[in-house]
Structure 1
Amino acid sequence: MGEIRNAERTRKAILQAAKEEFFERGYSGARIESIAKRAGVNKQLIYHYYNGKDDLINQTIDEFVSSVPIGNFTLPANPVDIADFRWKVNMDHLREFLKFTAWEAVEELPQNSNGEEARRRVLQSYNADMKSKQEMGLVPNELDPAFITLMMSSLTIYPLLYPNVTKMITGYTVDDQEFQEKWSRFLRQISERIFQKEDVK
């Protein structure tokens, strides 16, 4: 029993070290040797638990996604509230992970090496939620649910990924409380103009 507990502790230590390495350096920049050093284990032990870098990144992201409280992926009933909700979740809980995803724009990644399946499940659930709200008459029929999800992802992620551009455009840093409050209000104002106004119980 002690050996099982030790193995589980080692596995978790490796995943935590891998998360730090991947999130800081991206997929291509991450090194198994650096992950081993962060975890305090030898390189061979990583290969005992994981089948190389691709397996490690997928399991790292699966573990990360499953560790985020489910409430952070459960969208509000009123579509007007969704953009602001996603902005706050991204800012408070997913910021480092989102920086990792930015590496995808500049790196050539092996297929299915970035936790794609776990991420697709979350994003497709947003599409399904928006389609359901559309069927309830809360979202205009002429709007494509997938494009709404893409729009909300853009609005709620861009300031976090490009803080320098955000400051050049607005004069605020993304960590400025006044910016965060103003951006939340703006997201709500935009949402009120997009979605049909219905009372949501």
Structure 2
Amino acid sequence: MGEIRNAERTRKAILQAAKEEFFEKGYTGARIESIAKRAGINKQLIYHYFKGKEQLINETIEDFMASLPSGNFTLPADPRDIAEFRFNVNVNHLMEFLKFTAWEAVDTVPENVNGEEHRRRVLQSYNEDMKAKQEKGQVPKELDPALLTLMLSSLTVYPLLYSSVTRMITGRAPDDPEFQQRWAQFLGLISERIFKMDVEQE
């Protein structure tokens, strides 16, 4: 029993160290040697638990996603609240992960890594949620649900990731509470414009 607990502890330590390494340096920049050093273990021990870097990144992201409160991925019933909700989740729970995803724009990585399957399931669930709201008359029929999901993703991620652009345009950093409050309110106003007509017909 003690051996099992030790193995679980070691595995958890590796995943935590891998999360820090991958999120800080991206897939290409991350090194197994650095992960071992962060975890305080021998490099060869990592290969005892994981086949290689690809398995490690996938399991790291799966573990990270599983650690988040389940309510983070349950969208509000009213489409007018989705953008503000997703922005607040990003600010409060996903900043490290979002910085990691920025590496994907410049990284050359193998297919089916970076927890792609898990992430696709979450994003496709947002598409399905938007389609369901459209069928209820809460979303204008002429708007493509997938493109709406992409738009909301952009509006709730871009200002946080591209801090220099946010600062140059607004004069405030994205981690400034005043900016976050103003942007959340702005997202609410934009959402009112997009979804207002059909919601009022209920």
CA distance in 1, matches of 2:175, 2:108: 31
5 Å-filtered alignment, 1:110-125, equals: 110-125=110-125
Instruction: Give aligned pairs, total.
Output: 201
CA distance in 2, matches of 1:24, 1:46: 19
CA distance in 2, matches of 1:102, 1:116: 14
TM-score (norm 1): 0.97
CA distance in 1, matches of 2:94, 2:131: 24
Matched, 1:11 2:11: yes
Q: 1:45 is matched with which residue?
A: 45
Q: 1:63 is matched with which residue?
A: 63
Q: 2:23 is matched with which residue?
A: 23
Q: 1:193 is matched with which residue?
A: 193
Q: Any unmatched runs of 5+ in structure 1?
A: none
RMSD over aligned Cα atoms:
1.4
Instruction: Give per-residue Cα distances to partners, 1:71-122, cap 9 Å, x unaligned.
Output: 0110000000000000000011000100000001011111112110011011
Q: Residue 110 of structure 1 aligns to a residue in which SS?
A: coil
CA distance in 2, matches of 1:71, 1:100: 22
TM-score (norm 2): 0.97
Matched, 1:138 2:138: yes
Q: 1:126 is matched with which residue?
A: 126
CA distance in 1, matches of 2:176, 2:116: 32
Q: Any unmatched runs of 5+ in structure 2?
A: none
CA distance in 2, matches of 1:189, 1:27: 37
5 Å-filtered alignment, 1:95-114, equals: 95-114=95-114
Instruction: Give per-residue Cα distances to partners, 1:25-48, cap 9 Å, x unaligned.
Output: 000000000000111110111000
Q: Residue 41 of structure 1 aligns to a residue in which SS?
A: coil
Q: 2:180 is matched with which residue?
A: 180
Q: Residue 195 of structure 1 aligns to a residue in which SS?
A: helix
CA distance in 1, matches of 2:50, 2:176: 41
Q: 2:74 is matched with which residue?
A: 74
Deviation at 1:196, TM superposition (A): 3.4
CA distance in 1, matches of 2:126, 2:47: 35
CA distance in 2, matches of 1:34, 1:175: 29
Tell me, yes or no, if the aligned pair for 2:11 and 2:49 is still in contact at 8 Å: yes
Q: Which 4+ residue blocks in structure 1 deviate beyond 6 angstroms?
A: none
Amino acid at match of 1:172: R
Deviation at 1:180, TM superposition (A): 1.0
